[in-house]
Amino acid sequence: MNFTRRSMSAVLLATSASLVFPQTGLAQEYPTRPIELIVPWSAGGGTDATGRMVAELLSRELGQPVNVVNRAGGGGVVGHTEIANADADGYTLGVITTELSMFNHAGTAPITYADFDPIALYNQDPVALHVAASSDVTDAASLIAAISSAPGSMNASGANFGGVAHLGLVGFLVANGLAPDAVVWIPSEGSAPSLQEMAAGTVQIVSTTLPEASSMVDAGEARVIGVLADERLGSNSDVPTMAEQTGNPASFGAWRGIAGPDGMPNDVIARLSDAMAVVVADPAFTEFMAGRGFGISFAAADDFTSFLENRDTSFGTAMSAAGLSQ
């Protein structure tokens, strides 16, 4: 192939520019090929369902396919580990979940939020503390007073021992200067049987999400005392947080977000975080989440990082208090 002096000069100029400004050109083009989104849980569950909706809308926003790949196993360890170990080029992302706040503390896997580049939080379902409508407990202050007056005399339930519902209660107790076993935890198969036990008088407190207890609250059979969240939920703005009632932070609940392996280019993270802001605001997403009772909670990359740092600390403290840390 023959080159004129002018064409050769053009080639050399273009080559020089690409060497001086390699990141800018790549960032402007990203993404140029399909993206893989790892879901660390099996198909058909809540994380899989939300992940597939995010992938569909993210594909539309980015102009490239976002393909969901399920990597279940080890209680979420397998998938989270695969996300953390992927190439940090922006073409392998994943849905990270609540369990990431617990792995390292429980000794199940040596990975933490620090092994990821957080992109965006999109879901949060904080637990709330409920009592029977006939109870003398009406707010956080009276709940703390009742527990303090007779430690060990009240029972609580909501799910299994060591689950988010249990840790939420323990976190609340410890945050307010009470012993982690000041309330006796009665394990159950979930919120429904726990609420039935409360109706029967076997347990006095149920730790579960607002949607799970809404039918009993609406029927006047249960009372919500407060939600264990950083701020009031948009869907239930009339329910105060425990923190605003006591002045002591205590935030626990299930959460889901998008992240990539640590070391991704900052401009790629920004591109993805901006795209997720559009996804979360899409009517298709809001309708989907509302229809399944999932709360929408958006936090861009930097705020999501702070969120993960706080959750790592709060879950670690609660797990240690409950004797669940390794």
3-state SS, 52-67, equals HHHHHHHHHHHCCCEE
Q: For residue 98, give both structure tokens.
A: 């609540």
Rounded to two decimals, the pTM is: 0.86
Distance separating alpha carbons of residues 194 and 155, to the nearest angstrom? 11
* 183 three-class SS: strand
pLDDT in tens, the chain (326 residues): 333 333 334 333 344 434 444 444 445 689 999 999 999 999 999 999 999 999 999 999 999 999 999 999 999 999 999 999 999 999 999 999 999 999 999 999 999 999 999 999 999 999 999 999 999 999 999 999 999 999 999 999 999 999 999 999 999 999 999 999 999 999 998 999 999 999 999 999 999 999 999 999 999 999 999 999 999 988 889 999 999 999 999 999 999 999 999 999 999 999 999 999 999 999 999 999 999 889 999 999 999 999 999 999 999 999 999 999 98
Tell me if 77 sits within 8 A of 109, measured CB to CB.
yes
Q: Which secondary-structure segment (H or E) carries 261?
A: strand 253-261
Distance CA 257, CA 297 (A): 9
Contact assessment for residue 131 and residue 169, using Cβ atoms and an 8 Å cutoff = no
Q: DSSP readout, 207-230?
A: EEEHHHHHHHHHTTSEEEEEE-SS
